[in-house]
């Protein structure tokens, strides 16, 4: 586990703090009762050590929905402007969220993401960059996360969410009682991933990641449509 001298020490990546645990318990009760929340594929997550989750993004609920079933904390990446909002900023800081400036994402955010992965944290990213509302399962992926693959040697796991955009679509003020399904897909094989991390193969890497993410999304959508 690496620490950088000019950065504050990181907390234990295996243990949830009191704020995380309290919010998680409340969320678990809420999503189970109100939204018929179901999840599968948790066995694909490593029991310890760092891991990178690549998640499709259709609703403000997405981070909460992915974090609810986990037994250790996850560091999401969120827009830096949210940290200046009263109460919300305090909650984000207290639940290990990493701020990032979407307009000028630089080495500071990248270094912090890699530092947490090396320290043993699960880090959650939304490679589409913002919420997607189109008919396709996945929007065009932003290339910024490619640098993380080159710097951190951790399992990469696609996560598909279905139904969150119906529970809380754009512009909605309240969460609607709609079912949601989450699928943690199989790890992207390193034998496929590593060769594409070379310079000049960014587009091939994006296509590979998009393929695995789409498979997880399709599985979640099928599960949702079957009503099981």
More confident residue, 177 or 129: 177
Is the Cβ–Cβ distance between 162 and 180 less than 8 Å? yes
C-alpha span between 123 and 55 (Å, rounded): 11
Question: Comparing 48-52, 148-152, 207-211, which segment has the lowest mean pLDDT?
Answer: 148-152
The reported pLDDT for the residue numbered 5 is 54
E runs forming strands in 31-97: 38-40, 51-55, 74-79
At residue 187, the 3 state secondary structure works out as coil
Q: What domains appear along the chain, each with residue ranges and CATH number?
A: 18-226 (3.40.1130.10)
Nearest to 73 by CA among 53, 55, 89, 59: 53
The reported pLDDT for the residue numbered 50 is 95
Summarize the confidence of residues 60-78 as an average pLDDT.
93
199 confidence band (pLDDT: 50, 70, 90)? confident
Burial 214-225 (b: 16+ CB within 10 A, else e): bbbbebbbebbe
pLDDT digits (tens, 9 = 90+) for 106-119: 688 888 999 999 99
pLDDT digits (tens, 9 = 90+) for 120-152: 999 999 999 888 888 889 999 988 888 898 888
pTM: 0.92
C-alpha span between 94 and 127 (Å, rounded): 23
Is the Cβ–Cβ distance between 113 and 7 less than 8 Å? no
């Amino acid at each position: 586990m690496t620490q950088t001298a000019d950065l504050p020490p990181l907390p234990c990546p295996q243990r949830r703090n009191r704020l995380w645990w309290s919010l998680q318990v409340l969320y678990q009760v809420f999503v189970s009762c109100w939204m018929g929340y179901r999840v599968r594929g948790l066995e694909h997550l490593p029991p310890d050590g760092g891991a990178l989750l690549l998640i499709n993004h259709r609703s403000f609920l997405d981070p909460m929905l992915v974090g609810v079933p986990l037994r250790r904390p996850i560091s999401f990446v969120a827009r830096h402007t949210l940290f200046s909002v009263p109460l919300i900023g305090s909650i984000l800081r207290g639940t290990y969220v990493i701020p990032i400036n979407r307009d000028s994402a630089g080495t500071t955010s990248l270094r912090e993401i890699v530092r947490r992965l090396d320290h043993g944290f699960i880090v959650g990213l939304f490679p589409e960059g913002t919420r997607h509302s189109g008919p396709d399962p996945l929007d065009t992926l932003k290339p910024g996360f490619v640098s993380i693959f080159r710097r951190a040697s951790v399992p990469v796991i696609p996560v598909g969410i279905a139904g969150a955009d119906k529970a809380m679509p754009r512009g909605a003020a309240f969460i609607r009682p709609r079912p949601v399904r989450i699928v943690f897909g199989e790890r992207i094989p390193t034998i496929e991933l590593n060769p594409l991390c070379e310079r000049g193969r960014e587009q091939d890497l994006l296509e590979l990641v998009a393929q695995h993410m789409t498979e997880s999304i399709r599985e979640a959508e099928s599960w949702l449509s079957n009503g099981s």
